[in-house]
Amino acid sequence: MTQEQVSERLGISVEMIRRHERGDSRPGERFRRGYVRLYRATERDLGLTAPGGGSAATQDPPVLSMPVAVRAGDRLGPDDLPGLHRHMRQLVVLDNQFGGNELVRVAGRFLRSLTRQVGAGLFEPTIRTDLYAAIGELAEITGWLAFDAGRHDLVRRMNQESLYYSRLAGDTSVELLTVQNAGMHAGHLGRAYEALQLAESALSGPYRLSPRLRALFLVRRSRALAQGGDRAALRTLDEAMSLYDDGVSASDPQWVWWIDQRELWWHEAMCRSDLGDTSGALDAFARSADAVSAGETRSRFTHWAYLARAQVKARSWADARVTLDVLQPLALHVASDRTAAVIRAATAELRELGATAPADVVSQAIRLDTTVAEELGAG
């Protein structure tokens, strides 16, 4: 049964059905009863009630469960789609806790299983569009995890896979997210021109961008300009921040939740760093790091690692001591090659400074770098 058919049966919009499947909102009692009758399953089977009695949409999953039975010869049907979306939500939650190094293998394995089934036609034709959209989204998530894990060839393959399935499904939302991810990745690899062209393809393309989405791609443009040494990057960033202040709109995709003030401050810091404004970058990195809540372990580890590197560049030794102390326990919980590279770079710079850097700060950084390397090796 397609989402359009469910919409007609229950008298609910397709977009709201997607939000229910993703766990962005919990259906009211009337719609929960409707889902139960329609699918002939319990609320728990449908993921509408968590094992502890609360809403599955409001509780973080403690473990990663297999969303559908992927066995040779099985045909995927409408009942498998909610489980697939739950699986993707779990990956996102676990990534923000532990980083992508280990999760990318789980996501990649499941994606390969699904694409093999799709390639063999082992699915009901009525779910083709919804299944393609889900695979496109799973490939996007896998690409992000690969980026965090430093597996750059895999990032590009996953972005291409995501674009392929998203376009087959007509899912502009995930297509745009993947284009932004590709721009992010190109910039990370120092391909500023490629990153700029990807940003322009969204800003000047056939997409109807909301203020929040336009702000996102203006940020990508500003980052690419800054990498090329163009100070117009800061004017572009100001424009993005102004659009961000317009807030979200009803047409925004559900994934825009991560475009927040701390994200903009971090991008400001990166732009200023690329333009040689060490002091301005340090201030923006500090604002960004302070805005990360204690429960977001991977995000906290990443933002504070960038802050530590900025403090080393600025020779802000007293603040660096505090930041390195914050990072040490976080390193025991997160496996992120992307963040490890930032810590390695800060440690290498301290070593190069030799006796001009305080010995205790150098010792702290080396201890942190060693812990990070050991944790990555343990995975």
Asked if 181 contacts 194 with a C-beta cutoff of 8 angstroms, the reply is no
Residues 174-223 pLDDT 10s:
999 999 999 999 999 999 999 999 999 999 999 999 999 999 999 999 99
The pTM of this model reads 0.82
Residues 283-321 pLDDT 10s:
999 999 999 998 899 999 999 999 999 999 999 999 999
How far are the Cα atoms of 110, 111, 116, 145, 328 from residue 70, in angstroms, in the given order?
Answer: 9, 11, 10, 22, 40
Residue 27: is its pLDDT beyond 70? Answer: no
Region of 177 on the Ramachandran plot (φ > 0 left; ψ -120 to 50 alpha; else beta): alpha
**Distance in angstroms (rounded) separating the CA atoms of residues 347 and 170:** 46
List helix spans (H) across the chain: 3-10, 14-22, 29-39, 81-98, 100-119, 128-148, 152-169, 172-188, 192-203, 211-227, 232-244, 261-274, 278-290, 297-313, 317-330, 337-353, 359-378
| Alpha-carbon dihedral angle through residues 170, 171, 176, 182, given to the nearest 10 degrees | -90
- Reduced to 3 states (helix: H, G, I; strand: E, B; else coil), residue 238 is helix
For residue 348, give the amino acid letter: A
Which region among 41-55, 171-185, 264-278, 288-302 has the lowest average model confidence (pLDDT)?
41-55
